[in-house]
Chain A
Amino acid sequence: MSLFKMDGKDFISNLPKIYAIYTGGFLLFFALMAVLEQAGLGADTIGILFIAFTIAIYAMIGVLSRTMQVEAYYVAGRSVPPVFNGMATAADWMSGASFVALAGGVFMGGHGYMAFIVGWTGGYILVSTLMAPYLRKFGCYTVPDFIGTRYGGKTTRLLAVLVLVIASFTYVTAQINATGTIAARALNIPFEAGVWFGLAGILVCSMLGGMRAVTWTQVAQYIVLIFAYLIPVFWMSIVQGFGPLPQLSYGGAVERIMELEPIVGVGTLTATESFAGLATLTTLHATPADGAMAAWKFIALAACMMIGTASLPHILMRYFTTPSVRAARNSVAWSLFFIFLLYFTAPALATFSKLQLLDPTLPTAIIGQPIESVLALDWIQKWSAIGMLAISDSNGDGILQINEFFLRADIIVLATPEMAGLPYVISGLVAAGGMAAAMSTADGLLLAIANALSHDLYYKIIDPKAETRKRLIVARVLLLVIGAAGALVASLQLTGILGAVAWAFCFAMSGLFFPLVLGIWWKRANRPGAIAGMAVGLGVGTWYLYMVYAGGMTPWIGLDHLRFGIVGASASLIAMVVVSLMTKEPDAETQAMVDEVRIPRGETIISSKS
């Protein structure tokens, strides 16, 4: 099977063929499941087969990509073509939260929630214009590697590792949590077992082959997750009469919801009862909240997500794997394109999902229908049984009102196929997609942490003479230990998925954004400045988070715990500029290095230095 030899030029030029066969195989599997469902195969078995089949493929790719070369382990041999790196980054980027929770958030939170969508796409403009090409020219293995070499000294490297670990670890627990939730539901096992099962899957993909294995599994995971997201939306759109390209035609559905909202009382009827963790729909679908404060909160949240994107090490390190600076730039554009496919679909999904519940002319409507007939619906019974949904006739008139329908936002994506009456094979597909999204992000994050600890802490600081073999073994042991620690924290279920994700962005931007950007764009930035920028940014950010989240402080100008990065990054910028200007400018060699980074052609900085 020369097709699967993961080395050399042949493999790279065969990539389109390999992934075309893979995609065809996956769609064939999907068709087979659909046929078997018609033939009477049970829903549970279909769910198990979907999860087992996809994870088996990822594991196979992971094993085939094993390596003992440093360049392959850390940066996939710097040979990943831009389009494929784009897909891998998109999978790396779109977490379990994006896949499972985003559309539900838009469903419940309306316009205000879409700040996440704008933020998680617009951030790539910053990645491409300010960061990725220059970091690629630098030739580093990890993000702290850049900080440590540009500014010099062990303290800078150590601080960068610290910020990276805090941000990425916060994020990875949320992802392992998501894999646990999905695995538990699809395989009918307890949540704790689901967490460890998810971790095992994640580690098989990354342990043996490092970045190279993660790259090729992430491409495979992207293909699964994008089909799983798009197919139900296309299907619903056709059923509801909006045609086969819903993203271009759902304006009418938005208009219809806005017509129905005053009739059913969205925004005017509030719940008179309460169920733990559940809420009724009270926010208008497409109408932004009035006033300067609402506009500022939207902008501040979008800004945090964007600047956080440009500072998250597991994303930046994906652009170290391309063959050239130009390829790094192109692959950022492809990443954004592949991410765009999911994110511009999420509001469409939320819209169709809402319309089918509200519009009395559709057979799927529940609002305004007799309570008895609603309670008889399969999906209502199934989701109420596990406490994710509740129906209560608060005013006793026998009709379901908008303020009598309670749900958890997270279930929208998973429950929508059932609401629309689609066959179970679609639900199985969606579960596999959610699993792919959570696993791919967890893989990237774990690798970012383990690589920073093994390369920057162990090799560069503790034992610079360590031989290759030892370095790679240390890297793998660390991967295992950090993964286990992440699973342990995840099984305690300390934070909700979304809270933890937004915090990771805010930590990363507080500590890393300005040291990275100014390292490229401001020659005058020096070592004391970078140390101050990272330490003050991380310190002030953490203090502010603690004060508004647990300390009972009133947030400054609406900057709540999801937006603390604005405070941290501002402090970081001020500290870095002031301290840099008060201390000596960097030596001529460092300034020449910055000049060299700005030019695409030629050797990477790190290889020409050593």
Chain B
Amino acid sequence: MTLDLAQREAHWRKTRNLTIGHLIVWFVFSFVVHGLAVPLNEINFFGWPLGYYFAAQGSLAIFVIQLFLFNKQQEKIDREFGVAED
């Protein structure tokens, strides 16, 4: 392994920050929006009450998009430090 200690730490720092960022988004759409379901339901979203919509579809769709995005970002970090697989 050609990676020196400083680079190793920088790679891990970036990876960790990316993970934390995604976990914050995850937390919001897993818990916060559902905790606020009652007020959100006052808003009409193409026929759906918004609070219901998040539980039935919105949060789920965001999770899917989030994972594909996460893969792209992690791959970029790995390439930057030359630790991606060939």
Contact = CB atoms under 8 A, between A and B. Distances in A.
A287 B60 contact: no
B49 A287 contact: yes
A321 B71 CA distance: 18
B79 to A, nearest CB: 10
Interface in A295-321: 295-296, 298-299, 302-303, 306
A345 to B, nearest CB: 10
A121 B34 CA distance: 14
A333 B38 CA distance: 31
B41 A117 contact: no
Contacts of B1: 599, 601-602
Nearest to B3: A599
Contacts of A125: 22-23, 26, 30, 63, 66-67
A254 B47 contact: yes
A67 B22 CA distance: 40
Given A287-B49, A290-B38, A598-B15, A333 B64 contact: yes
B10 interface: no
Nearest to B49: A286
Contacts, number: 149
A111 B26 contact: no
A-B complex: 7 closest residue pairs judged by Cβ atoms: A251-B47, A333-B67, A347-B56, A286-B52, A114-B55, A251-B48, A288-B37
The bracket for how many chain B residues form the interface is 35 or more
Given A117-B55, A288-B41, A302 B34 contact: yes
B68 A333 contact: yes
B61 to A, nearest CB: 7
5 contacts: A118-B55, A122-B59, A287-B52, A295-B34, A299-B35
A347 B57 contact: yes
Interface string A114-138: 1101100110111011100100000
Nearest to A110: B52
B83 interface: yes
B83 A118 contact: no
A128 B71 CA distance: 9
Interface residues of A, number: 53
B41 A344 contact: no
Contacts of B71: 128, 326, 329-330, 333
Nearest to A337: B64
A247 interface: yes
Which of B49, B53, B75 has the most A CB atoms < 10 Å from its CB? B49
A598 B13 CA distance: 11
A324 B74 CA distance: 14
A326 B30 contact: no
A251 B34 contact: no
Nearest to A603: B1
Given A125-B26, A287-B41, A324 B85 contact: yes
Q: Interface on chain B toward A: helix, strand, loop, or mixed SS?
A: helix
Interface string A335-348: 01100100110011
Contacts of B85: 324-326, 600-601
A130 B63 CA distance: 15
A332 interface: yes
Q: Give the one of A254, A333, A340 with max B CB within 10 A.
A: A333
A124 B36 CA distance: 23
Nearest to B51: A288
Given A288-B51, A600-B84, A343 B60 contact: yes
Contact of B47 (A115, A252, A302): A252
B46 to A, nearest CB: 5
Nearest to A252: B47
Contacts of B67: 124-125, 128, 332-333, 336
Contact of A600 (B26, B34, B68, B78): B78
A599 B30 CA distance: 29
Given A114-B52, A125-B67, A128-B67, 10 more contacts: A111-B55, A121-B63, A130-B19, A254-B52, A295-B35, A296-B35, A299-B35, A302-B30, A332-B67, A336-B64
Contacts of B26: 122, 125-126, 129
A250 B47 CA distance: 8
Given A255-B47, A340-B61, A299 B34 contact: yes
A98 to B, nearest CB: 13
Given A129-B19, A302-B30, A121 B52 contact: no
Given A129-B22, A255-B47, A121 B59 contact: yes
A109 B74 CA distance: 39
Contacts of B45: 251
Nearest to B71: A329
A471 B45 CA distance: 57
A599 B11 contact: yes
A110 B17 CA distance: 37
Nearest to A286: B52
A302 B33 CA distance: 12
A258 interface: yes
B37 A254 contact: no
